Amino acid sequence: MVASGPVIDTEKNLHLMTVQGLWKFSSSGEVLWHYEPPGRSDNQPFLLGDTLLGSSTSGHAFAVDRRSGEEIWSKRVAERAGGDTAHPAALDNFFVFASSKWEGSKEALPGGNTKIFGMAAATGEQLWEYNSDFVVWNLTPLFPEDDTVVYMSGEGHVFRLGLQNGTLIWKTVIANMSGTFSDGGAVLGPNKIIYTCSNPG
């Protein structure tokens, strides 16, 4: 099973996360290396320079050298994380991802997280964590390039946090969305407007 799609570097190599781990392929499809992360990962890796960043359902975040496939660091921030397919991302030295699995579902959904983490991409040092008011699903951090990060909850609510310390700047709770769910995600338009989505009914 493949988590999202491949991440392609400047040399046209492909980096692909699957339930069997992270793989690097040449542009012709030759396997160059394979890395087994700490726990299963359903999330797309993020390429920052020569470093691949990721997170796993065991509550870990990790960094891998894209050239050698060797682990740079691995840190555990939660007991476990939801199995939804997230897209953790980094800006400058700030790696942002979700962890801490949501346990409130009677249906025992495999995914959903309750915390957002900011870590130093170079060292794995935890810089901050934010307890989300609403369950996060398929987290895709958005960076308006103003020292903030924006994300959407599973109900379509939007949150804006300080990138340096994770403090809440504002949140927009969409009316009449309580108890709804969306597999979609917010996007940041070129006009600096954030577009969210929801699934009423």
The 10s digit of each residue's pLDDT in 117-167 is 999 999 999 999 999 989 999 999 999 989 999 999 999 999 999 999 999
Give me the number of domains the chain comprises: 1
The answer as to whether 110 is a domain residue is: yes
pTM of the model: 0.94
User: Where does 108-156 show beta strands of DSSP type E?
Assistant: 113-120, 126-136, 148-152
The 10s digit of each residue's pLDDT in 53-94 is 999 999 999 999 999 999 999 999 999 999 889 999 999 999
The answer as to whether 200 is a domain residue is: no
Which CATH number goes with the domain that contains 65?
2.130.10.10
The answer as to whether 6 is a domain residue is: no
pLDDT at residue number 176: 85
The answer as to whether 59 is a domain residue is: yes
**Residue 65, CB half-sphere, CA atoms under 13 Å: how many?**
6
The answer as to whether 43 is a domain residue is: no
The answer as to whether 22 is a domain residue is: no
Which secondary-structure segment (H or E) carries 61? strand 60-65
The answer as to whether 154 is a domain residue is: yes
The 10s digit of each residue's pLDDT in 18-58 is 999 999 999 999 999 999 999 999 899 999 999 999 999 99
Which residue segment(s) compose the domain that 88 sits in? 51-195
The 10s digit of each residue's pLDDT in 105-115 is 555 567 899 99
Longest dimension (CA), the chain: 50
